[in-house]
Amino acid sequence: MDSKTKAKKKFFKGNAFLYIGFVITAAMLAMIIVSFFWTPFNPTEMDTAAKMAGPSSVHLLGTDNLGRDILSRIMKGAGTTFLISVCVVAIGCVCGIIIGSLCGYFGGIADAILTRVCDTITAFPAILLALVIISITGGGTMNVIIVLGILFIPSFARIVRSEYARCRNLNYIESARLMGASSFRIIFVHILPNTMAVLLPAITIGFNNAVLSEASMSFLGIGVKPPAASLGSMLRDAQTYLRNTPWYAISTGIAIALLILGFSLLSEGLQQAARREE
């Protein structure tokens, strides 16, 4: 066994959360990637002969009220949910890092004000603020991404800020400054890599929240608009036919729960690993 796999083994050892979270997330991602090239059926094709059919060897998870294959729809829907989450986390994370690092590194009045604003925003549930903004701008995939992305900035900014405020006065940063490194270089080359221990769990928990928020909003009918479908909007459809096709709601709900569970376990495991490093 080479040393790299050994290190990996040590990383996972005794960290059941990280291990299970990794397996679940990897399985879900594999399913999503496959769905971009291949699904068992065309997810929008209606099989009029097999409406509301239960799970069978042909349709593994059955069909919906229009005779569409549920497994194929879940694969596609999970892809939509995941892509939206990627965009949301990317916006939140990148903007959060920029704002948080500048605030934490330079401090001052701007920092005090922005910190206060971030604290206030995070006191409100993201879904409520998203509803307010969506009610003004209107729904749709693009708006959901932008709104959630913006709402995710404060939580990232807060985490990054506190790390930068902590690192700002450490010896090796001082010496980098004495060596004549520019502030830009110190912020992004010297300090940023050191925030990974807190940033990685934050990103995974960000995915967790993004999936939940997107699913909630699409479930409320203000997210993804038909014919596009995400797991949340599918669950909304499934609710209408809960009596006739309970397998639709259950399998869609489980898909959402698995995505969230994978990310939450990963985050939990990464935090444990970071704690053990100390």
Partner 1 sequence: MKYVIKKVIALIITLLVVSFLAFLAFQIIPGDPTTRILGSEATPEMVAALREQMGLNRPMLLRYLDWLGNFVRGNYGTSFTYKVSVNSLLADKLPVTILLTALSFIITGVVAIPLGILAGSVKSKIIDKIVIIIDQIVMSVPAFFIGMIVCFLFGILFRLFVPGQFVPLETDWRACIAYLVFPAVSIAIPRIAMTVKMLRSSILNQLGQDYVRTARSRGNNRRQYLFKHVIRNAMIPVITFLAISLAEIMTGTIIIEQVFTIPGIGRLLISSIGTRDFPVVQAIVVLIAAWIVIVNFAADIINQVVDPRMRNR
Residues near partner 1 (CB under 8 A) are 16-17, 20, 120, 123-125, 127-128, 131-136, 208, 212, 215-216, 219-222, 235, 238-239, 242-243, 246, 249-250, 253, 256-257, 260-261, 264-265, 268
* Smallest separation, CB 206 to partner 1 (Å): 15
Bridge partner list, 219? none
Q: Which amino acid is at 163?
A: E
**Exposure b/e, 232-261, CB count within 10 A at least 16 = b:** bbbbbbbeeeeeebebbbebbeebbebbbb
- For residue 78, give every residue at least 6 positions away whose Cβ sits within 8 Å of its Cβ, in sequence order, or none: 28, 31, 32, 35, 231, 255, 259
* Smallest separation, CB 37 to partner 1 (Å): 28
Cβ closer to partner 1: 16 or 26?
Answer: 16
Cβ closer to partner 1: 167 or 224?
Answer: 224
Cβ closer to partner 1: 164 or 207?
Answer: 207
- For residue 200, give every residue at least 6 positions away whose Cβ sits within 8 Å of its Cβ, in sequence order, or none: 270, 274
* Smallest separation, CB 116 to partner 1 (Å): 10
Cβ closer to partner 1: 148 or 235?
Answer: 235
* Smallest separation, CB 86 to partner 1 (Å): 19
Cβ closer to partner 1: 77 or 104?
Answer: 77
* Smallest separation, CB 217 to partner 1 (Å): 9
| Whether residue 227 has a cis bond before it, omega within 30° of 0 | yes
Q: What is the CA 19 to chain-centroid distance, rounded?
A: 18
State the maximum Cα–Cα separation within the chain, in Å, rounded to a whole number.
Answer: 76
